[in-house]
Structure 1
């Protein structure tokens, strides 16, 4: 019964599926609301006055790193790694010898979405103590670990960020694309797997680790491989160029006359016309 559906996407990102929804003869027979692509909608982080001490330390560290050299590792506020996954992730980052900024959460061997409804309840339990013994000491020169939370959008905007190892939640994916940052796809559950496949295979901005037959998680050597590939390999250069193209399309879509701007403007004009009709009645 809805009059329409707003989607946080844009023509330059998903032109084919949006065209199919509007024009395909089968889709047009389905009694569904009209689709309005009005993205990218990105919630920018708060101003510097609200930064915590860890934020200040984090950005001071980023300022000292070379351009496009750092992998941001952030797997969302609602998802968690198992202990085995976290250990393999840690040693994979160490083996890669690439710079990284890891927003680490306490691992759990329960559901991957175990913390989805518990964000912020375990802040007193330092998640860095669950990292492998000696990991932080071995990576002190190239990496930084931040407990639980950091200003993700602002970090993605920083010139030192060269890749984003993400769980591929849609908000995080849109944030990364709007900032022109290529991705390492590490989905945890439900639609994140579909998003990861789309980002890697259709849009061409991501690469994902593979899980060896007989194993439940991607091993440290595979984490090492994909991190190196995106940060310093030829494949990473292609992904970065594609991510920049998507970023340019996102800016155009929100500009006057752009697809998202026009889509939202058309809805507003429709609302105004209906309001004038009500007043006349």
Structure 2
């Protein structure tokens, strides 16, 4: 008798940008593809939150079909110093977690049919080889970024120098070129950044897998996906957009009560993600921009930092005690009738789904981008780090779902006048009508891709069938 339910293992890297899409992929494999899924999570500040979400299996599924295994907390203090980038911290954490992951796999009575890791988990692919598992990599960003990253690991030094030193556009076969101002900081620091060589190693390992899953969909990025498929190096599976569902929470009743009192599509939601921070000067300019716009706003705020735009990455807090004395004098009093400032956190998906939200000022992390598209909310793109500049460019130039913030001063500040103008354009000005209409089209496209018969639904079904075939092959010893 043929086996019909593959067992798929997912290994998630630290950070909400990786954990959330892995969580949603797990739920979708269980609820729509009748798979058994075990999610392995490295213990960090985020682990308790994510694991508690995962422990609730999707409606209608067997409670035993979705399991969570928390790997031990990884101490990397002897590998990286306190001042290193968040990328190096993730790399070190995942490298050291492989041993614990292998131990957990070896103890399982029913070992997984396939292993899915994200880009930082490729060191664990050797475990898949050892236990005869199919191996896939889940790219939690978009196809254009993946094509760029893949290309930069294959080109010669002269082409990199032309891009980095002479600021020439980086041409990507079959895709739009990447402008110097949008390129990733890992490449900007080449050859002095050790992450670059690590980057190359990751993509070599990815090219030897059974396929690359991507949190995008065919209708959103047809050109970039075609270019990747034309390389024929490894199968490409766009299965997105995988975003968090709307889940009511008693923790956010104050926010939702405030939103309930606002007119439809009248509020600009401001958030720089779970890790993004601004300088004190930029916080002041943003405060004034919000005030001068005379529009309603919901601002999720983190204490400013002068050191690192990703200053809160991998932590749930960055030292906030709720004190907002870094805001301009009188700001809260002057805007109390039209604004709400929330320290540190808000239930983003529920906020974006609220009818009073008319725009999203975002750092353009890919999770936030997809959540905004899925809820039909136009964006002001304000990238901070990683691939966010590329995301912002794509949203503005290719997709037409946003306008992009421009640094107006020599010190890189986005000025209050620019902020005022962007907010009004997204919410009320006539010139923003095309963006507001375009985001509604994208919302429908995203929903169709995931619905039964849609492009992403069909591709995920194909993936499940591949796992079933491999399971049956193992069962019969072929």
Structure 2 residue 236 is matched with structure 1 residue 40: no
Structure 2 Cα separation of the partners of residues 212 and 153 of structure 1: 31
Aligned residue for 2:417? Answer: 221
Is 1:170 the counterpart of 2:371? The answer is no
Task: Tell me, yes or no, if structure 1 residue 95 matches structure 2 residue 292.
Answer: yes
Tell me the distance in 2 between the aligned counterparts of 1:267 and 1:216: 45
Tell me the equivalent position of 2:271. 74
- Which residue matches 2:349? 153
Note if contact 2:248-2:350 (Cα within 8 Å) is conserved in structure 1: no
SS at match of 1:165: strand
Query: 2:212 is matched with which residue?
Result: 5
**CA–CA distance in structure 2, aligned partners of residues 87 and 244 of structure 1:** 32
Matched, 1:61 2:258: yes
Q: Is the 8 A contact 2:238 2:459 kept in 1?
A: yes
Task: State how far apart, in whole Å, the 2-side matches of 1:80 and 1:265 are.
Answer: 39
Select 2:387's aligned residue among 184, 191, 197. 191
CA distance in 1, matches of 2:214, 2:436: 25
| SS of the residue 1:18 aligns to | helix
Cα distance in 2 between the residues matched to 1:110 and 1:184: 24
Shift of 1:208: 1.5
Superposed, which structure 2 residues align to 1:223-262 within 5 Å? 223-262=419-458
What does residue 467 of structure 2 align with?
A: 271
TM-score normalised by the chain length of structure 1: 0.92
SS of 2:342 mapped into structure 1: strand
1:86 aligns with 2:283: yes
Structure 2: distance between partners of 1:114 and 1:127: 18
- Per mean C-alpha deviation after superposition, the further-off stretch among 153-162 and 269-278 is 269-278
In 2: Cα distance, 1:252 partner to 1:212 partner? 39
The 2-side partners of 1:195 and 1:243 are apart by 15
CA distance in 2, matches of 1:20, 1:10: 14
Most deviating of 10-19 and 194-203 = 10-19
The residue number in structure 1 matching 2:5 is: none
The alignment's C-alpha RMSD in Å is: 1.4
Question: Which structure has the larger Rg?
Answer: 2
Unaligned stretches of 5+ in structure 1? none
State how far apart, in whole Å, the 1-side matches of 2:469 and 2:264 are.
Answer: 50
Q: How many residues align?
A: 270
Q: Give the secondary structure class of the aligned counterpart of 1:13.
A: coil
Q: Report the CA distance shift for 1:122/1:45 in structure 2 as closer, same or farther (over 3 A).
A: farther
CA contact (8 A) 2:312 2:318 kept: no
Q: Which residue of 2 aligns with 1:15?
A: 222
Match of 2:228, SS state, is: helix
Farther off after superposition, 184-193 or 269-278: 269-278
Rounded Cα–Cα distance in structure 2 between residues aligned with 1:169 and 1:162:
19
Cα 1:215/1:110, change in 2 over 3 Å: closer
Contact 1:105-1:128 at 8 Å conserved across structures: no
Deviation at 1:254, TM superposition (A): 0.6
Match of 2:377 in 1: 181
Give a deviation string over 1:2-50, Cα, whole Å, max 9, x none.
2112111111211221122113xxx23xx3x3111111111235433xx
**TM-score, with length taken from structure 2:** 0.55
